[in-house]
C-alpha cells in the first residue's frame, strides 16, 4: 500500500471522508461549536473558481466555510463569514492559490493546524 503524500491519513467521521486526521478532528470541533450556537451554516469543501483575464485557470477548494458569531463592545451579536483550511504543509501551489482567492474574493483564509 502506497503512503499518502505528506503522510496525511484519510479519516472518516459520520460517513464523511477527510484527507487527514487533523481535518477530521477540526470538523468534530466545528460540529460542537455549531451545537453551542457559536457557528452556523457549516459547509464542507467550498469551491472558489480562480480567474485570470476573464478565463478560469484553477479552482481553490477550502476545507470549511461557516458563519461565526461575534459580540461587539455594545453587546450586539453579529455573524461573519469564515473560510478555513487545515494545513500541515503549505505547498507553493497552496500559497499561490490562497493569495489569488484572497485577492479575487476579498476574503482572508483562516489557517488552522
pLDDT, tens digit (0-9, with 9 covering 90-100), for 22-42 = 999 999 999 999 999 999 999
In this structure, the number of other CB atoms found within 10 A of the CB of residue 72 comes to: 8
d(CA 104, CA 54): 12
Task: Give the H/E segment covering residue 35.
Answer: helix 21-35
Distances (CA, A) of 20 to 9, 11, 53, 110: 5, 6, 35, 17
d(CA 33, CA 38): 5
The C-alpha cell at 90 is: 503549505
Tens digits of residue pLDDT in 71-95: 888 889 899 999 999 988 889 999 9
Quickly state the pLDDT bin for 1 (edges 50, 70, 90): very low
Q: Is the pLDDT reported for residue 3 higher than 60?
A: no
Amino acid at each position: 500500500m502506497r503512503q499518502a503524500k505528506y503522510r496525511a491519513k484519510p479519516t472518516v467521521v459520520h460517513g464523511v471522508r477527510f484527507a487527514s486526521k487533523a481535518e477530521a478532528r477540526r470538523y468534530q470541533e466545528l460540529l460542537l461549536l455549531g451545537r453551542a450556537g457559536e457557528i452556523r451554516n457549516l459547509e464542507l469543501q467550498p469551491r472558489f473558481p480562480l480567474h485570470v483575464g476573464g478565463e478560469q485557470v484553477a479552482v481553490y477548494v477550502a476545507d470549511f466555510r461557516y458563519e461565526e458569531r461575534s459580540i461587539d463592545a455594545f453587546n450586539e451579536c453579529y455573524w461573519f463569514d469564515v473560510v478555513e483550511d487545515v494545513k500541515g504543509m503549505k505547498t507553493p501551489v497552496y500559497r499561490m492559490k490562497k493569495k489569488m482567492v484572497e485577492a479575487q474574493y476579498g476574503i482572508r483564509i483562516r489557517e488552522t493546524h
